[in-house]
Structure 1
Amino acid sequence: MKNLIYIISLFLGLFANAQTNLPKLATEISPLLIGEKIPSITLQSIDGKNINFDDITKSKKTILAIYRGGWCPYCNLHLSALGEVEEKLIEMGYQIVAISPDSPESLRETITKDKLNYTLLSDSKGDFIKALGISYGVPNGLKKKIKTAIHGVKNDFLPVPSLFIIDEKSEIEFEYISPDYKTRISNELLLAVAAVLKK
């Protein structure tokens, strides 16, 4: 009996350790694939209210952008670029939702600074980003900068910047995932893919 308890304890310990170990590099992630369903996980609004992911996406197709944070200039450029095509995407029947590890307070700053109209949500615990398979450990050179920028939220992870198009069942129809955080999907390509997938 003692041996059985030991084996179970060992297995649970290994399983827990596997769940907390993040890839060290952005190139080592294992993201969900096209056709897979994004799990419904609780996120926070800019007001700090809990929001279930399925409740956001069940009414219409969604352009889902995952970004590193409002402290990242390349992310801010991409968020602004999405704002430039928001009306066209809405006309096609889409909504835009952007998610980052930022605190709700940081999200409010980003919305004001970048003059955004679409929804920003906080995944400060990383449950959603890790479930997508796009999280990796924060490089040492960024730890101080992130700690200063995110209003007390302690993060040991970053998401690889990604964009997904998902249907009303939260199934992935398209994804653009770039381990090079300086490279993002162009508005031209996004609009072309969205037009094909709108039906």
Structure 2
Amino acid sequence: MSLQATLDAFKADFRAGKPPYSAPSDIHPIMERATVELIASGQASRAAKAGDKVPMFTLQDGHGHEVSSQELLGEGPLVVSFYRGVWCPYCNFELQALEATLPMIREAGANLVAISPQLAVNSQKSERTNHLSFPILSDPNNRVADSFGVRYALPNYLVDLYKRLKNNLPAFNGDDSWTLPIPARYVIAPDRTIVYAEVNPDYTQRPEPEDLLPVLRQYGKR
């Protein structure tokens, strides 16, 4: 089953309240309103895109080890996936799909990292829960996400909903700003140029990991 088919099936079960995905039915219009407004804001079109040069970054993984984009780019292309956090089931499905594609990513001579604003302990949980073998990096205050143009602030009514659902982002992220990254996936060439970009403000829609492979094969192993 494709990643998007998996996400669509989960979304249908979640909306239908099928166990174990039961949730109050009134939350769905609120979440959908926030997605529609984020799409209408046009932020995704202003985010980093193919042809842009990206700033270098150094972030820590869940075990306190520093991971440098400059060092990884010295080995070949770099895949960067921005995700919301381990609390987001859509993100977890995507991370699992990326893990399944990791052998082909590495075969193409590339590296892969995933970035979220969550604290290191939650990055460890992402790694453990999803059985991941690539670096899961913590981006304090969404600073790297902001440099890519994908950081956004949740509207007040969505903050109220998250609080009601006990989804305490300040506790998850160690940051009381109530900001998240728009889910995004990039391929960065060794010269720091973005050669592939997918930024979608609808967090229930994610590109297939296999879509990366033709680009990676073009820029890897040179």
TM range (shorter): 0.7 to 0.9
2: CA distance, partners of 1:68 / 1:139? 16
Per-residue CA deviation, residues 135-168 of structure 1 (Å, 9 max, x unaligned), is 1112332453142761644343111101001112
Matched, 1:115 2:128: no
Paired residues, number: 176
Matched, 1:167 2:189: yes
Partner of 1:105: 121
Selected match of 2:42 from 8, 12, 28: 28
Amino acid of the structure 2 residue aligned with 1:189: D
Gaps of 5+ in 2: 1-36
SS state of the match for residue 125, structure 1? helix
* TM-score, normalised via structure 1 length: 0.79
2: CA distance, partners of 1:55 / 1:139? 37
SS state of the match for residue 64, structure 1? strand
* TM-score, normalised via structure 2 length: 0.71
CA contact 1:25–1:137 (8 Å) conserved in 2:
no
SS state of the match for residue 144, structure 2? helix
Give the greater-gyration-radius structure (CA). 1
User: In structure 2, do the counterparts of structure 1 residues 42 and 92 end up closer, same or farther at CA, with 3 Å as the change threshold?
Assistant: closer
User: In structure 2, do the counterparts of structure 1 residues 83 and 62 end up closer, same or farther at CA, with 3 Å as the change threshold?
Assistant: same
CA contact 2:58–2:69 (8 Å) conserved in 1:
yes
Matched, 1:86 2:108: no
Following superposition, the deviation at residue 82 of structure 1 comes to 0.3
Please provide the CA RMSD for this pair.
2.1
**Once the two structures are aligned, what percentage of the paired residues are identical?**
29
Amino acid of the structure 2 residue aligned with 1:174: Y
2: CA distance, partners of 1:53 / 1:68? 20
Following superposition, the deviation at residue 197 of structure 1 comes to 4.2
Partner of 1:156: 178
